[in-house]
Amino acid sequence: MTAKASTQTLEKVPAPAADDRSVDLPAELVSDRLVWSRIRLTLREPFAEFFGTFIIIMFGDGVVAQVVLSGGQKGDYQSISWGWGLGVMLGVYTAGASGAHLNPAVTLANCVFRKFPWRKFPIYVLAQLLGAFCASGIVYANYKSAIDVYEGGAHIRTVPGYSDTATAGIFCTYPAAFMTRTGQFFSEFIASTLLMFCIFALQGDSRLGTGAGNLTPLGLFFVIFGIGACFGWETGYAINLARDFGPRLMSFCLGYGKEVWTASNYYFWIPIVAPFFGCLFGGFLYDTFMFTGESPINTPWMGLKRLSVPKTKDNMDSYV
């Protein structure tokens, strides 16, 4: 292959010079003038969060559906841990343009500890919820025939605790019957704390040269696999508002009834609230004992001083 043939494809476009010459510009610069290209650039981060979370649910809910609906013949609990781990790893690769939060609690922790812009928080959360909502609908459509057979009819849809053939647990989490309310919250809190601590550990400390670098997605695979294998039995390790609430809402829309909200004494709010507390605590632990970089923990009074200092031009972008 000649050097000429291996160069990037070029496209003639009018030059801005007055002598009406033409210059060679890379084709991608020409495409940037398209309306959709501008929209895509503007919404690049929400799109990344949407599709990253979408990938997580496709793999995660997909593997649960296969294991449950096959009666354990096409997988077991370890298969579920593998599926969720792979989903998170591939979702992180997909959403690299946005930082791959893929979890409202992770976004909140980044706002608090890593100066992630607060104005982006609601946009990220909405994109994550929509990604999970849409993906769970596609998983349902794919496995609808199997769900009909497993439940015992095309119009029968049941929730764990109300039927021995319930399939609502494919899409969102329901706790084990023996769990108390305190135990449910604590289980999700612990798992979320581990998640955020490990995320910050994988990101590392630039001042010390630590972190996993390009292997971070692979590291997150092992984090999710480990949490599922070690702490997933009691509550299903939601550890993510979007991962649980989006598919739960979809299951409600698909006819699983109000029981998706009332099951296990209104358990649904715990996967919404506990991950926020857990991820904040995990971030606090890591920054307090391990991190030497820029963080509110590494400012006077662990960041509380800024609450008593009026905002000025000098400290507007500072933690102090």
Closest CA to 261 of 157, 136, 172: 172
Please classify residue 41 by burial: count the beta carbons closer than 10 Å to its beta carbon, then call 0-12 exposed, 13-18 middle and 19+ buried. Answer: exposed
d(CA 172, CA 248): 5
In a domain, 318, yes or no: no
Cβ(41)–Cβ(116) under 8 Å? Answer: no
pLDDT of amino acid 207:
82
Render pLDDT for 51-102 as a digit per residue (tens, 0 to 9): 999 999 999 999 999 999 999 999 999 999 999 999 999 999 999 999 999 9
- 107: containing domain: 45-292
Please classify residue 160 by burial: count the beta carbons closer than 10 Å to its beta carbon, then call 0-12 exposed, 13-18 middle and 19+ buried. Answer: buried
| CB atoms near residue 84 (< 10 Å) | 25
Closest CA to 236 of 270, 193, 210: 270
pLDDT of amino acid 208:
84
Q: Which amino acid is at 16?
A: P
d(CA 64, CA 127): 23
Q: Which amino acid is at 207?
A: R
- What crossing angle do the helices spanning 104-113 and 241-251 adopt, rounded to 10°? 150
d(CA 119, CA 177): 40
- Local structure of residue 198 (DSSP, 8 states): H
Closest CA to 195 of 85, 76, 288: 85
In a domain, 305, yes or no: no
Q: Which amino acid is at 44?
A: R
In a domain, 32, yes or no: no
d(CA 127, CA 276): 17
Cβ(66)–Cβ(176) under 8 Å? Answer: no
In a domain, 120, yes or no: yes
Domain count, the chain: 1
Cβ(61)–Cβ(135) under 8 Å? Answer: yes
SS3 258: coil
pLDDT of amino acid 29:
62
Which residue ranges of the chain lie beneath pLDDT 50?
1-23, 25, 314-320
The two counts, helices (H) then strands (E), for the chain are 12, 2
Render pLDDT for 15-34 as a digit per residue (tens, 0 to 9): 444 444 444 545 556 667 78
pLDDT of amino acid 209:
85
The count of C-alpha atoms lying within 13 angstroms of the C-alpha of 273, restricted to the half-sphere facing its C-beta, is: 10
pTM: 0.86
pLDDT of amino acid 312:
56
Cβ(190)–Cβ(231) under 8 Å? Answer: yes
Cβ neighbours of residue 218 closer than 8 Å, sequence gap 6 or more: 89, 212
Query: What CATH code is carried by the domain that includes residue 191?
Result: 1.20.1080.10
In a domain, 158, yes or no: yes
DSSP string, 260-298: HHHHHHHGGGHHHHHHHHHHHHHHHHHHHHT--SS-GGG
In a domain, 298, yes or no: no
SS3 257: coil
pLDDT of amino acid 30:
64
d(CA 218, CA 86): 9
Q: Report the largest interatomic distance among the alpha carbons of the chain, rounded to a whole angstrom.
A: 81
d(CA 230, CA 82): 13
In a domain, 314, yes or no: no
In a domain, 98, yes or no: yes
- What crossing angle do the helices spanning 44-69 and 77-94 adopt, rounded to 10°? 170
